[in-house]
Structure 1
């Protein structure tokens, strides 16, 4: 969706919520405010793609901070542009009664609900709209590669003492360079969720006294190591995520460095 409205037209509606409202849309002097309506809504990261906010989903399904929603009138003219707050909520106020269209699509994401919604605004009433979007994810685990073959066996333990993983690459859904960090859990696993399409690299640091295992040593991508490097900092290859791409797994095996007597 093209975002062409000048930010200089923004009017603050409340803490964390703002909307760009065209001057022609402001009620004329003497207009009765009770004859106007409003639209409240939210944009959320729909990780399981079912179009509903599922609190039970791992990590929850959070609101899409800074997602943009565009409002059109019945003639197809842009009326306003709202930016969601930290909870993914947005609001349009002082709307004359009539039919409007909202566009909640987000660049780099797949819509899991209708990306465009028609809403009938009525006097003194607030209508509610919800948009679901789905991004990609990159996850994996760190493990101790006891035999140094670059392939994780069931008997080899997770590396819970890992220093964590750093994701860098594409811009996030509101144009900021995406660099995130993730710690590993008690299973040695890490995860980056709700990613827009783009190219990403993941890096981590080898534990003291260890070196990274050889990369892509086996035919099964779910059990081999995906990181390379000759220094303590090791990186994955660049990963291209399509919009709404499913989970990409990047694992890191570490073997104890050889010692000499």
Structure 2
């Protein structure tokens, strides 16, 4: 019994000592890899202050033998990160398959415990250049006296960054491989609308406008990978666009179906009108009310062809067509008005005159109203 007791005591003591001596191991130290994918516009392999990062690029991490581990998208500014990596050698791949490159696309990076390792990747895109000018005589040919025009203009292409200078010269950088189609929008200056000049006029292709009149669609360029990771167009990527001041004017007639000076509360009056636009604007034609006395409510407004109707409360309406009709259209319309209270005043309906940025003088028809 004593030997057994002694043996048991020895075993218990050994267990207690062993338990007391056990400690939780600290986690193994790790390091990380961070970096940036940026548009290396001067292809010098160095990041400078004006070169932007590539947003939503893709960077992958592999082990030292090239076995894929994980991947990540670049954040706004082109940055990425692979945290909590065990010390060792890794491969980081920053090749962007829709762009060229200015640096090696794969880098071997050694991760050291508690240290940050860096791998940056330079991407290269294509470039489109051109100029926008104010076409004073609207003939689609850039002449020496005609100034550059940059007010309110948008020259866009998918995956491209546009810089517009005050003299109308523009550059679109960072254009992706493949096809790139230019698109221009209307310009606005001093409350007046400017639209695209006629395209491909004259005999000098360096002085004409290259964008479709009305739609604003420009040429399509194809970019492909060139020497040393460059991105080159298959044809010279330059396009100009002329703008002229667009006058949205015309004639307007308006006929009521009854005497508007002897109306009564609870009754209605219907106006039938025709608007014939004769200006040189190609889009955003509108018919709208510019004044009505209290006690009148617009209850129904229709047009042929059918235009978009916008009602602002019950005392203002606008019929608008923004679908690039060439030449300017003629539209017939009806306006039904309900009399809800005794009133005296004038009902005015207008085309042109600056609504929705149409340039040119307004054309209006005013009808006297008297209701008891």
TM-score by length of 2: 0.50
| 1:125–1:256 distance in 2 versus 1, CA, 3 Å | closer
Matches within 5 A, 1:92-131: 92-131=82-121
Aligned to 1:13: none
Cα 1:216–1:89 shift into 2, 3 Å: farther
The equivalent of 1:87 in structure 2 is: 77
- Supply the distance in 2 between the matched residues of 1:86 and 1:256 (Cα, whole angstroms): 39
Provide the rounded CA distance (Å) in 2 between the counterparts of 1:253 and 1:193: 21
Q: How big is the shift at 1:206?
A: 5.1
1:248 correspondence with 2:230: no
> How far, CA to CA, are the matches of 2:75 and 2:219 in structure 1?
34
Gaps of 5+ in 1: 1-28, 173-177
CA–CA distance in structure 2, aligned partners of residues 161 and 90 of structure 1: 37
For the 8 Å contact 1:151–1:218, the answer to whether it is kept is no
Whether the 8 Å CA contact 1:150–1:214 is kept in 2: the answer is yes
Q: Secondary structure at the match of 2:108?
A: strand
The higher relative CO (CA closer than 8 Å, separation ≥ 6) is in: 1
What residue is the counterpart of 2:172 in the other structure? 192
Q: CA deviation at 1:189?
A: 3.2
Tell me if the contact between 2:61 and 2:70 (Cα under 8 Å) persists in the aligned partners. Answer: yes
Superposed displacement of residue 257, structure 1: 7.5
Which one has the largest radius of gyration? 2
Instruction: Determine helix, strand or coil for the equivalent of 1:54.
Output: coil
Asked if the contact 2:179/2:223 (under 8 Å) is kept, the reply is yes
- Give the SS at the match of 1:33: coil
Contact 2:163 2:172 (C-alpha < 8 Å) held by counterparts:
no
Matched, 1:214 2:208: no
Q: Is the 8 A contact 1:144 1:156 kept in 2?
A: yes
Relative to the length of structure 1, the TM-score reads 0.69
After TM superposition, the runs of 4+ consecutive aligned structure 1 residues lying more than 6 A away are: 256-260
Q: Is the 8 A contact 2:44 2:102 kept in 1?
A: yes
From 40, 45, 58, the equivalent of 1:46 is: 40
Q: CA RMSD in A?
A: 3.1
1:58-69 to structure 2, matched below 5 A, reads 60-69=50-59
Question: Distance between the aligned counterparts of 1:62 and 1:250, measured in 2?
Answer: 24
Distance in 1 separating the partners of 2:198 and 2:75: 43
In 2, the alpha carbon distance for the partners of 1:211 and 1:41 equals 44
For 2:107 and 2:195, locate their aligned partners in 1 and report how far apart those are by CA, in whole Å.
Answer: 55
Residues 197-248 of structure 1: per-residue CA shift (max 9 Å, x gap): 1222222245647651331644554x4321123x3x3211222222423683
Mapped partners of 1:107, 1:250: distance in 2: 26
